[in-house]
Chains A and B, each alone.
Chain A
Amino acid sequence: MKKILLSIIMILASISVHAAATATELEGSFKVGPAIILILILVSFIMVGLLFRAKDTTDYYAAGRGISRIGSGMAIASNWMSAASVLGMAALMFGMGYHGLAYVVGWTGGYVLLLILMAGQIRKYGKYTAPDFIGDRYYSQGLRVFAAIIAIFISISYCVGQFGGIGLMFKWILGIDYMLAVFIGAGVILFYTLISGMLGVTKNMQVQYVIIATSFLIPLFILLFKYDYFWLIPPIGYGSVVSDIVTGVPLNDAKELFNIYGHSFAIAASPEFAMPWAESSGGTFFQWMVIVFSLMIGTAGLPHVLQRFYVVPNPRDARWSVVWGLFFICIIYWTAPVYAAFGKMLAAHPEVGTLAVDAIVVYTAQLGNVNPLIVGLLAAGGVSAAFSTTSGLLVAGASAFSHDLYVKVINPEATAKKQLLIARLGTILMTVIVALIALLELALIAELVALAFSLAGCTIFPLFLLGIWWSGSNKQGAIAGLIAGSFITLISLTYFITGKLGVVLPYHDFINYWLGAWYFAWVGAPLAIITNIIVSKLTKPTPYEVRKFLVENVHL
């Protein structure tokens, strides 16, 4: 036993020496310690997936409805916290200051809407997927197909951002090419999603949450302690860091504190980091408000988030799992700005050079001379975040593909075995598509993710909101509302994509400002709701059976 322990200590010591040697290289080299941690974590994901793999379609889609509320809360948090949250959030605040907080508020406040307007009711309705609910509630196969296609599109858009994050972290840790990094990540995630399904994914998400939270928080305690701030509660302790950035820290005040390059922990007064809607942040008051609004309603309309409520045993657990989920999410969201603030302080000297903003979380820990193994764990946590979200998205997309398109429309007589096969084929197809799009590097992680939110806010959210709370909303109204929401989406995306290709369409600046790709739901969602209501009022009422079901099963 002693020999084994000694061997482990020797190996860890050896890793530390190698890791220390590469500590001052911010990127571009193979990092031994972080690489080993990453491999161990990936192996553990696969092992958990294997141990809890799906046995039938119920397991695959909804984890057998046997997940506890805290477990489900952790899964919600892990599913939710993507590369955009763990890596992109700090990046946004690092680059845009107070404007970046719109994403923190938008990505958490939406859960209040989700809980009070939808969670319990969705579980009571008792369907497996978002398109399932829409097809059933609006008694329309066409709407089911349309919703399934939108769900797949949302999943792809969201996944592309995650694959970008995975590529970025693999590139940093392994010192390999971005393209290869994306392929390796895609291979691993596909392998364990295929063999595990939702049950394995849910268990994995719980493990992943623990890894994400641990890896994210440890460097913060170290940074706050090291740079002489109140470290016991990081979300409070970093307040003084923000104030120091606003007022500036003179050289004398920071003479014994340095970054990894030996630069003084001093900074010129930079109030633009914390002051609202600073012109230099590139965001206006209007944009702040509509981003928050769009992200909030997008949260309540994302198929993979809504789908989490089908995996809890009853409506009460569905409600409480949101509270737990939000709590677990907030643990990370309270602390993400700490990385942005420390990043500002530690990267203030020009010799640090230009950093890839999306990886600022990792660079900040490195610049703060945090132990390389802990930095490695942090990077692995970023990968874990991207993995957890991607797996949930792939299951949601595969469910839409097999359950809503194949079983409900193409082959209603399909056996359980056939359904599982189609779900797995759907997962493979989606992974290939996502990996190929991710290689094109079309946009930043956060951009692609925010786009998915607006799309969900314009299309799925209005259908769920009215579908649950107004029995007068009928098929015709739903179709009209969906067309209206999709029309706004189409306009915004057309201008966004053509803009990326360098084509300037008429009213380019006007549309890009008022219907920006990250927040077009502020127009699309209300328009879809109003259109739905007007058309529903003017057409044949909702069938008696649907209204009866709503009253007796959802609102009783």
Chain B
Amino acid sequence: MENNQIDYHVSFFKPKTRRNLKNRNMILWLVIIWATAVFGFQILLRVIEKPVPEPAYNTFVSVWENVQTENASTEELKDFANSVSFVIGKVYIKPEYQAALSNAFTWSVFRIAGDEREQLYEVLVDFEKMQAESEDIFDPSYVESKKALETYIVKLLDIPQNDVRKPILPFSMSSQKTESYSAENMKITEEAMSMYLIHNRSVLTDTVFLGFPFHYFFTAVFLLVLFIGLCLTYCIITDRRIAKEQLL
């Protein structure tokens, strides 16, 4: 009965002993550091970021209206095809966007080709045929047809020799999409262009640290170091405190 009068109660926020108070304070400090580093940094990133378009997006916007109304000049079509190819050149575009962008690219390249359309069409069909028939990507006939189409497109769009898009362009064409550019695909193209060419950037993303964009380093490398550091701190302090109590 006597024991029942002792108030046994545990509450994180109302520690009853000096030892528990110290432990509570240490945990609170560690949690505050942890939460600020994890969530605070991302909130800061969110607050200061601004949507920044790639140059290709600005080019796209400048010619888009004329392309839609089919009033674009050859130069404008070149700009359009070039800007679209910047998105096509990226790795792993969503399939629904790939189809629409392929339509946009093929259609514009064929419009640019003008009198050479039939010749371009033959080269394209030959490449598609070789692509379907060849079992090996090192097959000389396949390689030759690919090179022929690549050279053709590069010439039509004035793409520099050093440009990384060059080897990818033959795969962006489709002989089924040379004549029309559907309204639906136009809509999807517009969506894909803004999706893949506008990025959230800030001083934290543009600063390079140890080769990384800073925000990437902070999240992928530093936070993990911090987590280990926090755990280590907790264990060392707890061990010291227990040792001290045992001495007393």
Is A98 a contact of B232 with CB atoms below 8 Å? no
When the two chains form their complex, are residues A242 and B9 in contact, meaning their CB atoms are under 8 A apart?
no
Centre residue among B4, B200, B220 by max chain A CB count within 10 A:
B220
Task: Give residues of chain A (417-438) contacting chain B, Cβ–Cβ below 8 Å.
Answer: none
Decide if B228 touches A268 in the complex (CB within 8 Å).
no
Contact check: which of A249, A261, A326, A348 meets B231 at CB < 8 Å?
Answer: A326
Q: List B contacts of A108 (CB < 8 A).
A: 223-224, 227
The stretch that binds A, out of B65-73, B88-96, B103-111, is B88-96
Contacts of A266 in B (CB 8 A): 164
Question: Does any Cβ of B come within 8 Å of A203's Cβ?
Answer: no
In the assembled complex, the Cα of A261 lies from the Cα of B136 at a distance in Å of 10
- When distances are taken between beta carbons in the complex, the residues of chain A under 8 Å from B31 are 113, 116
Contacts of B9 in A (CB 8 A): 471-472, 547, 551
Q: Are B166 and A251 in contact (CB under 8 A)?
A: yes
From A177-185, A317-325, A367-375, give the one contacting chain B.
A317-325
Could you say which residues of chain A place their CB within 8 Å of the CB of B92? 94-95, 347
Q: Which A residues are CB-close (under 8 A) to B4?
A: 544
Complex Cα gap A544–B6 (Å): 9
Could you give, for residues 228-240 of chain A, a 1 whenever the CB lies within 8 Å of some chain B CB and a 0 otherwise?
0010000111111
- Given A240-B211, A275-B205, residue A263 in contact with residue B224 (CB < 8 A): no
Is A457's CB within 8 Å of the partner chain B?
Answer: no
Q: Are A109 and B231 in contact (CB under 8 A)?
A: no
B235 interface residue per 8 A CB criterion: yes
Q: Is B219 in contact with chain A by the CB < 8 A criterion?
A: yes
Please report the C-alpha to C-alpha distance between residue A548 and residue B231 in the assembled complex, in whole angstroms: 29
Q: How large is the interface on B (under 10, 10 to 19, 20 to 34, 35 or more residues)?
A: 35 or more
A444 within 8 A of B: no
Q: Are B90 and A104 in contact (CB under 8 A)?
A: no
Determine the main DSSP class of B at the interface with A.
helix
Query: Hey, which chain B residues are within 8 Å of A337, CB to CB?
Result: 220
**Complex contact B45–A276 (CB within 8 A):** yes
For B45, give the chain A residue with the smallest CB separation: A276
Complexed CA–CA distance, A267 and B20 (Å): 56
Complex Cα spacing A316 to B231, Å: 13
Binding-face segment, A60-68, A206-214, A327-335: A327-335
A513 within 8 A of B: no
| A112: interface (CB < 8 Å) | yes
Q: Which B1-55 residues have a C-beta within 8 angstroms of A?
A: 3-4, 6, 8-12, 20, 26-27, 30-31, 34, 38-39, 42, 45-46, 49, 54
Contact B8 A548 (CB under 8 A): yes
Q: Which residues of A contact B54 (CB under 8 A)?
A: 269, 271
CB A551 to nearest CB in B, in angstroms, measures 5
B201 within 8 A of A: yes
Does any Cβ of A come within 8 Å of B165's Cβ?
A: yes
Size of A's binding interface in residues, CB under 8 A: 82
* Chain B residues with CB under 8 A of A243: 208, 211-213
Given A250-B162, A250-B163, check contact A470 B238 (CB 8 Å).
no
Q: How far apart are A42's CB and chain B's nearest CB, in angstroms?
A: 31
A276-311 contacts to B (CB < 8 Å) = 276-280, 285, 288-289, 292-293
Task: Encode A91-107 as 1/0 by CB contact (under 8 A) with B.
Answer: 00011001001001100
B228's partner among A246, A326, A349 (CB-CB below 8 A) is: A326
Please give, as numbers and ranges, the residues of chain B lying within 8 Å of A268 by CB-CB distance: 86, 89-90, 164-165, 168
A319 touches B220 (CB 8 A): no
Contact A235 B11 (CB under 8 A): no
Chain B contacts for A348, CB-based, 8 A: 91, 168
Q: In this assembly, does A272 line the interface, its C-beta being within 8 Å of a C-beta of chain B?
A: yes
CA distance A116 to B200 in the complex (A): 35
Does B220 contact A469, Cβ atoms closer than 8 Å?
no
Residues of chain B lying within 8 A (CB to CB) of residue A94? 92
A350 within 8 A of B: yes
Question: A20 within 8 Å of B by Cβ?
Answer: no
Residue of A at shortest CB range from B9? A471
Map CB proximity to A onto B150-173 as digits: 1 under 8 Å, 0 otherwise.
000000000001111111100100
Chain B residue numbers with a CB within 8 Å of A333 are 224
Interface string of B179-201 (1 = CB under 8 A from A): 00000000000000011101111
Task: Tell me which residues across on chain B come within 8 A of A442, comparing CB atoms.
Answer: none
Contact across chains for B235 and A470 when beta carbons are under 8 A apart: no
> How many Å lie between the Cα of A337 and that of B212 in the bound state?
12
**With A242-B212, A326-B227, A471-B11 given, is the CB distance from A251 to B234 under 8 Å?**
no
Known: A274-B213, A469-B12. A267 touches B164 (CB 8 A): yes
Is B210's beta carbon under 8 Å from chain A?
yes
Q: Does A53 contact B (CB under 8 A)?
A: no
**B144 at the binding interface (Cβ < 8 Å):** no
Pick the contact of A547: B8, B195, B215, B234 (CB < 8 A): B8
- Assess whether A264 is interfacial by the CB under 8 Å rule: yes
A288 to B49, CA, bound (A): 16
The answer to whether A115 and B234 touch (CB under 8 A), given A105-B38, A280-B195, is: yes
C-alpha spacing A104/B45, complex, angstroms: 18
Contact with A along B63-103 (1 / 0, CB 8 A): 00000000000000000000000100111101000000000
B96 to chain A, nearest CB (A): 12
The reply to whether B195 and A279 contact each other, CB–CB distance below 8 Å, is: yes
Q: Is A550 close to B, CB under 8 A?
A: yes
In this assembly, does A16 line the interface, its C-beta being within 8 Å of a C-beta of chain B?
Answer: no
Residue pairs across A and B with Cβ atoms less than 8 A apart, 30 shown, are A95-B92, A98-B216, A98-B219, A104-B224, A112-B30, A116-B230, A239-B211, A243-B212, A250-B163, A251-B166, A263-B167, A264-B167, A269-B86, A279-B195, A279-B198, A280-B195, A292-B38, A326-B227, A327-B228, A330-B228, A344-B91, A348-B91, A348-B168, A471-B8, A471-B9, A472-B11, A547-B8, A550-B8, A551-B9, A555-B20
A: which residues have CB within 8 A of B? 94-95, 98, 101, 104-105, 108-109, 111-113, 115-117, 120, 230, 235-240, 242-243, 246, 248-252, 261-264, 266-272, 274-280, 285, 288-289, 292-293, 316, 319-320, 322-323, 326-327, 330, 333-334, 337, 344, 347-351, 469-472, 544, 547-548, 550-552, 554-555
Known pairs A334-B220, A351-B137, A547-B9. 4 more at Cβ < 8 A?
A: A251-B166, A327-B228, A470-B10, A544-B4
| Interface set of B (CB-CB < 8 Å, partner A) | 3-4, 6, 8-12, 20, 26-27, 30-31, 34, 38-39, 42, 45-46, 49, 54, 86, 89-92, 94, 137-138, 161-168, 171, 194-196, 198-201, 205, 208-213, 215-217, 219-221, 223-225, 227-228, 230-232, 234-235, 238-239, 242
